[in-house]
Amino acid sequence: MEKHKKRIILILFGLLAIGLAISKAICSLAEVCLFIIAIFEIAYVKKELNKSKFYLFIPSVLFIIYALSGLYSLNYNSFFIQLKVHSPLIIIPFLVWALNDYLEKKKEKLIILFIIGTIFSFSCTVIYTYLPINWIERLNNPKLFLPHTLNSPGLFGMTSIFIDRIQLSNLIGISTLFSIYLGFKRKNYFFLFLPIILFVSSLLLGGRGGQIALFVALIFILSIIITQKLKHYWIIQKTYFLIPLTLISIIITLLFLFSIKNVPFIKERYSQHNYEIKMFETKQYKPEDLINFTSVRRIISWENGIELIKKHPIFGTGIGDYEEELKKEYDTDNYNLPINHHSQYLFIIGSAGIFLFITYLVSLLYASSLFFKQKEILPIGIAFLMFYLVAFIPDAVLLRQVDCMSYSLFFSLLLSKIK
C-alpha cells in the first residue's frame, strides 16, 4: 500500500511539473489531489512531519502579507479572489513540506520532467508558427478544445499554443538555469547542450522580461559555478568570485547587445520599443496607438502605481481594494487605457505597504543565506532568485497562475534540499 501511495504522489508531482508549460488544468488537478493526500497523511495517518523545515514556507511569506493586508480591505469579494489567485504560494510549499519524504531522490526527476514539458510546448509553438494560414484557421476551431486560444503568429515573436507567450518565456528561462545546474552537477554534456537550445528559444519567443531576467541570472549561475570549480586557484580565493563575475558579466552583456543588433526577432522587438518611446516622448502618436504600445503602457502603469503608493505608502490600500484604487489613477491620467499590472514590486507595495514589502525582501535574504550554506544548490538557488527579482520589475508575474505555481514549486524544492 505504501509503495502504491508513493507512486501516486510522484506521478501527481510529475504531472504538476510537466503540466506547467502545457496545461493549467492538469496542474490544478494535480495540486488538488496532492492537497487531499497531504491532509489525509496529517489527519489520519498521523505521519510525523519534519518541524525543523519550516523554511520551506518562505515562498508563503508573500501570501501571508497579502492576507494581512486584507484585514483593512473594504472589498472582501476582491480580497478573496486575490487570495485564490495567490493560493499556490501557500498550498504548494505545504505540499512539499508534508510530502517531502516521498520526494527524496526524485526531485531532480521532477525538474527534468519540467524541462521536457517546456521543450515540448516550445516545439509545438515553432511548428505552429510556420504552419500554412489555412491550417491555423482549422486549428482555431473551438471543437478541438486546445488549451490556449491560438492567435495569428508573428506579433513580437512567436505565439505560444498551450499557455501565454510571456509565461512560457519565463518557464524557458527557469528551464535554462536548471539545465545548466544539472549539466555541471551530473557532468552530462546533453544537459550542457540543452541551455543553448533553450536560450535560443527564449530569444525567438520574444518575452523581453524573461529574456532580461535570464541574461542576469546566467551571469550569477555561471560565475558561481566557475568560482566553485576554480576555487583552488590562489587568485580566485583572494577575489572570491569577482573575476568570474566580471568576465561573465562582460560576455553576457556583449551577447545581449549583439542579439539586439543582429537577431531578427529581438532586433524587431527592441526597435519597436525604441519607436514607441520616441513617439510617446515627442507626442507624435495617435490616441488609438497607445493600446498597442506595450512599452508605453508599461511606463504608464508604473507612473500610476507610483502615484498610488504615494497616497498609501505605509499600509497600502489592502489587496482587496488595490484594483479599484489603481483604476482611479488610470481614470485621471488622460490616456484611456485598461488597467495593467506591470511590476510585482509596485503591486506588493501598493497593496500591502512598504513595511510588509520589506518583510518580503527580508524573507528572500534569509533564503539566500540558506542557499549559501549549501554549496550544492548555491548556483541554482541564487540564480533562481535573481531571475524572479529581475522578472518582477517589468511584470507582476505572480498574478498569473503558471508563474505563481512554478515560483512556489521550484522555490520550495530548492529549499527542501537544504540539510
pLDDT mean over 383-403? 94
Query: CA 406, 380, 227 angle in degrees (round to 5)?
Result: 165
For the ranges 265-269, 292-296, 308-312, the maximum mean pLDDT occurs at 308-312
pLDDT-based confidence at residue 140 (cuts at 50, 70, 90)? low
Residue 103 amino acid letter: L
Q: What is the pLDDT of residue 54?
A: 86
- CA distances, 266 to each of 119, 169, 258 (Å): 20, 13, 10
**DSSP category for residue 41:** I
pLDDT-based confidence at residue 231 (cuts at 50, 70, 90)? low
Report phi then psi at 222, rounded to 5: -70, -40
pLDDT mean over 386-392? 95
- Cell numbers 535573481 label which residue? 386
CB-side neighbour CA atoms (13 Å) of 331: 6
Residues 385/368, Cβ–Cβ less than 8 Å: yes
Residues 308/266, Cβ–Cβ less than 8 Å: no
Of 211, 245, 215, 209, nearest to 227 by C-alpha is 245
Return the C-alpha cell found at 198.
533553450
Residues 311/352, Cβ–Cβ less than 8 Å: no
pLDDT in tens, 66-89: 999 998 889 999 999 999 999 999
Query: Which residues, other chains included, contact 407 with Cβ-Cβ below 8 Å and sequence gap of 6+?
Result: 59, 89, 388, 397, 398
142 or 329: whose pLDDT is higher? Answer: 329
Rounded to whole angstroms, how far apart are CA atoms 122 and 111? 17
Does pTM surpass 0.75? yes
pLDDT at 256 over 90: no
Q: Which has the minimum average pLDDT: 133-137, 190-194, 195-199, 381-385? A: 133-137
Q: What is the pLDDT of residue 186?
A: 83
pLDDT mean over 217-229? 86
Q: What is the pLDDT of residue 45?
A: 64
Domain range list for the chain: 2-267+354-416
Residues 140/183, Cβ–Cβ less than 8 Å: no
pLDDT, the chain, mean: 83
Residue count (the chain): 419
Query: Which residues, other chains included, contact 279 with Cβ-Cβ below 8 Å and sequence gap of 6+?
Result: 285, 289, 293, 296
Rounded to whole angstroms, how far apart are CA atoms 300 and 295? 9
Percent of the chain with pLDDT over 70: 83
pLDDT in tens, 146-162: 544 444 444 445 566 67
pLDDT in tens, 103-137: 887 899 999 999 999 988 888 877 776 666 666 66
Rounded to whole angstroms, how far apart are CA atoms 245 and 222? 8
Q: What is the pLDDT of residue 134?
A: 67
Rounded to whole angstroms, how far apart are CA atoms 164 and 159? 8
Q: What is the pLDDT of residue 147?
A: 46
